[in-house]
């Protein structure tokens, strides 16, 4: 049971680190994978009390949340933060997505006039 819990919480970070070891990884990928890790942790915490959940005590969940939030805060507000965010938004792989997101003809978030 303890090993399963440790595996569940270390697996997203281990996968992100493995992907970031690629020679094709960019600084924008760091931001991208952190978003994926945060989404995975949010799902684990949300499903914690389910029958198939990890069944961790609330104090352990709160400690995990504090650690992850501190690392996220460091990434987004610490020194050099603009490198990760800028390269994420300027990445040509995402450029088409962002253009479609803000294109008025196909806009998801259209302005009401």
Q: Tell me, what's the pLDDT at 56?
A: 87
Q: Tell me, what's the pLDDT at 88?
A: 86
In-domain check, residue 49? yes
Domain count, the chain: 1
- Burial of residue 72, with CB atoms counted within 10 A of its CB: 0-12 exposed, 13-18 middle, 19 or more buried: middle
* pLDDT tens per residue across span 4-17: 878 888 899 999 99
In-domain check, residue 37? yes
Domain span at residue 75 reads: 2-106
Residue bearing the bigger pLDDT, 110 or 98: 98
Give the dihedral sign, CA 6/7/8/11.
Answer: positive
User: Are 101 and 108 within 8 A, CB to CB?
Assistant: yes
Q: Tell me, what's the pLDDT at 63?
A: 92
User: Are 48 and 9 within 8 A, CB to CB?
Assistant: no
In-domain check, residue 88? yes
In-domain check, residue 111? no
In-domain check, residue 113? no
Residue bearing the bigger pLDDT, 98 or 108: 98
Does residue 106 carry a pLDDT above 70?
no
* pLDDT tens per residue across span 42-101: 998 898 888 888 888 889 889 989 999 998 888 888 788 889 888 888 888 777 776 766
In-domain check, residue 112? no
């Amino acid at each position: 049971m303890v090993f399963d819990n440790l595996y569940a919480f270390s697996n997203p970070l281990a996968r992100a680190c493995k992907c970031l070891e690629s020679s094709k990884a960019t600084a924008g990928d760091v931001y991208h994978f952190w978003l994926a890790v945060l989404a995975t942790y949010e799902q684990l915490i949300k499903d914690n009390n389910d029958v198939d959940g990890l069944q961790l005590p609330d104090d352990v969940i709160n400690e995990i949340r504090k650690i992850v939030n501190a690392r996220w805060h460091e990434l987004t507000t610490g020194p050099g933060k603009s490198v990760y965010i800028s390269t994420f938004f300027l990445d040509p792989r995402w450029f088409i997505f962002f253009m479609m997101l803000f294109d008025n003809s196909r806009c998801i978030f259209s302005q009401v006039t």
